[in-house]
Chains A and B, each alone.
Chain A
Amino acid sequence: MFKIVLAIGVLALAQAAPPGDLENGRRLFVKDGCYECHGYAGQGGRDGARLAKTTMPQASFVRYVRRPSGAMPAFTQKVLSDQELSDVYAFLKSLPAAKPAAEIPLLKNSRQR
């Protein structure tokens, strides 16, 4: 029963998610400090997961930001609206994927002496 309610809730959230404004998302990503843990390029690091080109569905993304499970602070509606989260999500989806390491000589050769 709980799972059904949760699924409906997630579905409703996904359906309700407004379309994102990529440029506003880019601005918010810096202004609201997302870059602090996830990096300006969304590349991730010690303190935050990689978000660039995220494969996470938008509903899951929003749910995690509202109720994170790790060291990340929870960002409530009061400080980050659903619209703003949609904008950030659009920005993250727009970030370029990494080239394969094999195509970057410095990385490809990094294990050679």
Chain B
Amino acid sequence: MARSRRRFLQQAAAALVPAAVRPQSDRSQTAVGPQSDLSQTPHSAYTVERPGSDFMVDVLKSLGFEYVAANPGSSFRGLHESIINYGGNASPELLTCCHEESSVAMAHGYAKIEGKPMMVMAHGTVGLQHASMAIYNAYADRVPVYIVLGNILDANFRRSVVEWTHSVQDAASMVRDYTKWDDAPVSLAHFAASAVRAYKIAMTPAMGPVVLVADATLQEEPIPEHDRGTLRVPKLSAVAPPSADSDAINKVARMLVAAEHPVIVAGRAARTPKGVDLLVELAELLQAPVHDRPFRFRMNFPTRHPLYGVGAIADGDVVLGLEVGDFWQATHAQTPVNRTGMESRPTTKSGAKLITISSADLVSKSNYQDLGPYADVDLAVAADAEASLPALIEACRKLITADRKRVFDERGRRFADESARSAQATLDEAAWGWDASPITTARLSAEIWDAVKKEDWSLVSDVTFLSYWPTRLWDFQKHYHYIGGQGAYGIGYGAPAAVGAALANRRHGRLTVNIQCDGDLNYAPGVLWTAAHHKIPLLTIMHNNRAYHQERMYVHDMAARAERGIDRANIGTAITDPNIDYAALAKAYGVYGVGPIENPKDLGPAIRRAIEVVKKGEPALVDVVTQPR
């Protein structure tokens, strides 16, 4: 049925094309004018009953998507139309995005708050090219993102050279190195099975982005008659995350309980709120400190807990890494002889036993090197850390004797004393440069904290470029209090991920805070418009150091090594002359904007005014001129 209709349409279209634009060889054969044919053209030539994209929406709805982020594109116009009309623009609701990188990064931020993927639609060619860096970020950050690509595989279905240009034989190949799975279904039944499979794969630890190609012919042609009685939406199977086997668990427990100074290093350990509770339970049971530097990937452990960040990884005689993206970096230092990475030394003491529990060991790809240096550990447990923690806690509990408990309690008292001293030292350190302009990142963080601490807040931006001040000064307790950073350090993630996270926080009534680096915002600032358009409440505080500062430091390093021009590292790294007016930029996109604020005394009142706007359900931006780090 579908094929015959398509042949009819092609014939009708050929008849309607004016002779002047047809190939010369074709002109002599057609003498009939278009008008004479129109009266004979059947209704079905102009319309489509039950397009395949309606069935695709049935499938996608079954997966529970709340939102689909997209910059509109012709290769998925059928699906777009079905979502808004057949699907009623609800579950999923379309989010209008100004850049495909924003679409994916929004989904990335959303998933880290909500714990499930957002759907993204993009062209299989130019849209995916825009989206690719954000997909790599999500992949490296182990975050599920569900990407549906439009493509017109059948050359006879392409309307113009534009559609030829926007078509590709193997759309997903561009991102196959950094997605978990992809498929290009050739029938609606195939689409249904692969759509559900893709969701299942994305959500199985180690999680990651998946790609499904929605062929335009399948979208736009009617559901074949012979399929109408048989097409079904497959059931989404619940997947139990992979936990460690009992032998491994018992071995790890014995090492931890026997250790004099066990240390836990947490990367992406807590996938859910329960993960935080479990990690606290394990740490308290052993009175073992928990570290999460150098990169804070997730909210794993309460930052004011007496076991947070005390002692040193180097002190550990047993070091347990839980979903640490780069365990090698957590246990090594680079020498000054070659800071670029060729010379290094372990920071752990000789004889220390190293253990990892990581689902990253279950997913391996070769080309992109996000896997980090090889860590030669004593025991690598390939399993999801959060799923493994209950058994590990139980195994430890069984092994702890009264004598060991006394040792643990004494250890805990030492750490509690150290934690109290460290907290005071942190406050004293924050006071340096307190009244300086540009405003210090410590002052910035303290001012924001003072304004939000009585709210149900959620910080959705990375703290690395802020010298970690928020996680040092604020009281992080809940899973949504922090979601980490980019994953692959691809800049341009911050603003859209914050908007996506704020969207997820919206229905929980949380105050979402984004401390936004200036360089990052300039990749695709149109996401501010998306936030305004969809009324996504989000407090954005600019960390406006007017530079691509990380790169400036690298260039400075290179200049010092070359013994020349150390005063020229600003060339190519400065974002000045002119300074960017971020308040005006925000206003242009329909967002409340204020600043630039250079006097630290003006900061607190400006933040409070912006929070009032956010509480009305809108985004707001405060531009703050800051110190570099």
Taking Cβ atoms with an 8 Å cutoff, the residues of A that contact B are 31-33, 35-37, 39-47, 50, 52, 68-76, 78-80, 98-101, 104, 106-111, 113
9 CB contacts below 8 A, A to B, read A37-B628, A39-B628, A43-B442, A46-B467, A73-B561, A74-B561, A101-B431, A106-B446, A113-B475
Complex Cα gap A70–B549 (Å): 19
Main SS at interface, chain A? loop
Complex Cα gap A70–B553 (Å): 14
Contact B557 A73 (CB under 8 A): yes
Q: How large is the interface on B (under 10, 10 to 19, 20 to 34, 35 or more residues)?
A: 35 or more
Chain B residues, Cβ within 8 Å of A36: 549, 552-553, 556, 569, 628
Contact B560 A74 (CB under 8 A): yes
Contact A44/B432 with A36-B549, A75-B560 known, Cβ cut-off 8 Å: yes
Smallest beta-carbon distance A82→chain B, Å: 15
Contact B454 A113 (CB under 8 A): yes
B433, B564, B566, B569: the one contacting A43 at CB < 8 Å is: B433
Contact B566 A75 (CB under 8 A): yes
Contact B428 A76 (CB under 8 A): no
Complex Cα gap A109–B473 (Å): 11
Query: Which residues of chain B (435-450) have a CB below 8 Å from chain A?
Result: 436, 438, 440-442, 446-447, 449-450
Contact A47 B336 (CB under 8 A): no
Contact A45 B434 (CB under 8 A): no
Q: Does B247 contact A (CB under 8 A)?
A: no
Nearest B residue to A35 by beta-carbon distance?
B628
Kindly supply a per-residue 1/0 record for chain B positions 252-283, scoring 1 wherever the CB is within 8 Å of any chain A CB and 0 otherwise.
00000000000000000000000000000000
Contact A46 B468 (CB under 8 A): yes
Smallest beta-carbon distance A48→chain B, Å: 8
Query: Which residues of chain B (306-337) have a CB below 8 Å from chain A?
Result: 334, 336
Q: Does B629 contact A (CB under 8 A)?
A: yes
Q: Does B369 contact A (CB under 8 A)?
A: no
Contact A111 B561 (CB under 8 A): no
Q: Does B627 contact A (CB under 8 A)?
A: yes
Contact B563 A98 (CB under 8 A): no
Smallest beta-carbon distance A113→chain B, Å: 6
Smallest beta-carbon distance B73→chain A, Å: 40
Contact A113 B453 (CB under 8 A): yes
Contact A98/B564 with A33-B569, A71-B334, A110-B449 known, Cβ cut-off 8 Å: no
